[in-house]
Amino acid sequence: MQTVTILGATGSIGCNTLDVISRHPEQYRVFAITGNSQLDLLMEQALKCAPRYVVVADENQYDKACELAKQYRVDAEILCGAQALEDVSSAPEVDSVMAAIVGAAGLLPTLAAVKAGKRVMLANKEALVMSGALFIEAANQSGATILPIDSEHNAIFQCLPHDFQYGNFEASGIRKILLTGSGGPFRERALDTFSSISIDEASTHPNWSMGRKITIDSATMMNKGLEFIEACWLFGAGADDIDVVIHPQSIIHSMVQYIDGSVIAQMGNPDMRTPIAYGLAFPERIEAGVTPLDFADISNFSFQTPCFKRYPNLKLAIDACKEGQCATTRLNAANEVAVERFLLGQIQFCDIAKVNEATLESMPMVKVSSIQQILEQDVLARDKASDIIRGKFLC
Ligand code: NAD
Ligand code: MG
């Protein structure tokens, strides 16, 4: 029996995790679920999975959560606040933590699980983008196992040799990691119409159903950029070890190319329950409720190279990856602000990359070597991005 905490249970990854767990009640027990809003959903989830703790991230929602818990007759203890998130991630009773909070808010609770030596199922890519070396170092020190849940990284993980040594591509006979992405909804849209992209258009992904922020990141391909940085840290890759390949059908979730000419790909229907089930059961496999891939149904299977003119955020992220930790932390922060403002209708779609670029360009790089310094850079870059937006960006 594995005891699991689910950070961000009310989100897209959180709901999919609870779905997979509900198929295997004899194998998984839920210790804690957490959420920031959607308290009704959180209580409904608590009724179904009977956790010991329900954590509401926002302290101001505590009274409302307690009230709702009574109404729903939820048995669990209700906790709130940032410390509670860390406590349920690092409690001695917990074996595994699904890190599925979106954005920088996930960093500290995810890191708490890593430091406590848990089996960490990592969906929250922003945590790794923000803290890279420190995150990996903490895992090495505590003995935590990091299992990638992002479908691409989960695919790469499945395609690596079983004796893969972190960062040692040559010894493993690896030539390249081929990181695939659909190219999002604007892969073929005329570039001169980008200024009229609406929130609804950007919020509709052709293949995946996901949370709002990652859906916008997929449309700008910042998501692939964050994944590029994530892959470098997860597998010890250098920027030259990874190629981004557009694969509009999202059937191949990424590949590893070997020096003998072999390419190993992981495939499946685009359904996050596959990587989640793999993370939960590794090294075994469990049923995940995913429709099996039917090759007769796939009429087209295509690939192309991403154009940086169409996806300036992808280039910004690859450049930031080469630049180092300060740049990736700031880029993540600026992007979170820009995406939020786009979703509020305050800036246009193509302003997102402009805000990100201007934020990076206007701040000289500094060395960051502690979580404190990373959090400081996160705040500074958010402030800078907000200032830039206040100065009105137009396409
Ligand atoms: P989502 O928006 O659907 O859910 C986010 C969760 O985080 C919710 O439970 C929300 O309550 C919680 N949350 C939000 N702000 C918070 C805060 N300030 N403090 C504490 N909790 C907070 O997001 P998602 O699509 O499930 O994505 C979650 C993470 O997984 C992201 O980092 C995303 O990049 C990654 N990911 C998602 C998918 C996917 O298919 N959805 C795929 C790969 C990776
Ligand atoms: Mg992904």
Which numbered ligand comes closest to the C-alpha of 99?
Answer: 1
Q: How confident is the model at residue 205 (pLDDT cuts 50, 70, 90)?
A: confident
The residues whose Cβ lies within 5 A of ligand 2, an ion, are 150-152
Atom index in ligand 1 nearest the CA of residue 125 equals: 32
Residue with the smallest CA separation from ligand 1 atom 25 is 211
Q: What is the CA(227)–ligand 2 centre distance, in A?
A: 7
393 has pLDDT over 60: no
Query: What is the per-residue pLDDT across 227-257, written as a single tens digit (0 to 9) for each?
Result: 999 999 999 999 999 999 999 999 999 999 9
Picking from 16-20, 88-92, 207-211, 319-323, which range would have the lowest pLDDT averaged per residue? Answer: 207-211
Question: Is the domain covering 2-148 a CATH 3.40.50.720 domain?
Answer: yes
- Per-domain boundaries in the chain: 2-148, 162-269, 324-393
Verify whether ligand 1 is closer than 6 Å to residue 100 (CB atom).
Answer: yes
CATH number for the region 324-393 comes to 1.10.1740.10
Which numbered ligand comes closest to the C-alpha of 184?
Answer: 2
Query: What is the per-residue pLDDT across 294-325, written as a single tens digit (0 to 9) for each?
Result: 999 988 999 999 999 999 999 999 999 999 99
Q: How confident is the model at residue 374 (pLDDT cuts 50, 70, 90)?
A: very high
Mean pLDDT of 79-102: 98
Q: How confident is the model at residue 323, as a pLDDT?
A: 97
Q: What is the CA(295)–ligand 1 centre distance, in A?
A: 31
Which numbered ligand comes closest to the C-alpha of 149?
Answer: 1
Between 39 and 206, residue with greater pLDDT:
39
Query: What is the per-residue pLDDT across 68-89, written as a single tens digit (0 to 9) for each?
Result: 999 999 999 999 999 999 999 9
Verify whether ligand 1 is closer than 6 Å to residue 225 (CB atom).
Answer: no
Picking from 201-215, 235-249, 292-306, 352-366, which range would have the lowest pLDDT averaged per residue? Answer: 201-215
Q: How confident is the model at residue 394 (pLDDT cuts 50, 70, 90)?
A: very low
Mean pLDDT of 170-190: 96
Do domains 2-148 and 324-393 share one topology? The answer is no
Mean pLDDT of 95-115: 97
Mean pLDDT of 33-38: 96
Query: What is the per-residue pLDDT across 133-160, written as a single tens digit (0 to 9) for each?
Result: 999 999 999 999 999 999 999 999 999 9
Atom index in ligand 1 nearest the CA of residue 14 equals: 26
Per-residue 3-state assignment (H helix, E strand, C coil) for the chain: CEEEEEECCCCHHHHHHHHHHHCCCCCEEEEEEEECCCHHHHHHHHHHHCCCEEEECCHHHHHHHHHHHHHHCCCCEEEECHHHHHHHHHCCCCCEEEECCCHHHHHHHHHHHHHCCCEEEECCHHHHHHHHHHHHHHHHHHCCEEEECCHHHHHHHHHCCCCCCCCCCCCCCEEEEEEEECCCCCCCCCHHHHHHCCHHHHCCCCCCCCCHHHHHHHHHCHHHHHHHHHHHHHHCCCHHHEEEEECCCCCEEEEEEECCCCEEEEECCCCCHHHHHHHHHCCCCCCCCCCCCCHHHCCCCCCECCCCCCCHHHHHHHHHHHHCHHHHHHHHHHHHHHHHHHHCCCCCCCHHHHHHHHHHHCCCCCCCCCHHHHHHHHHHHHHHHHHHHHCCCCC
395 has pLDDT over 80: no
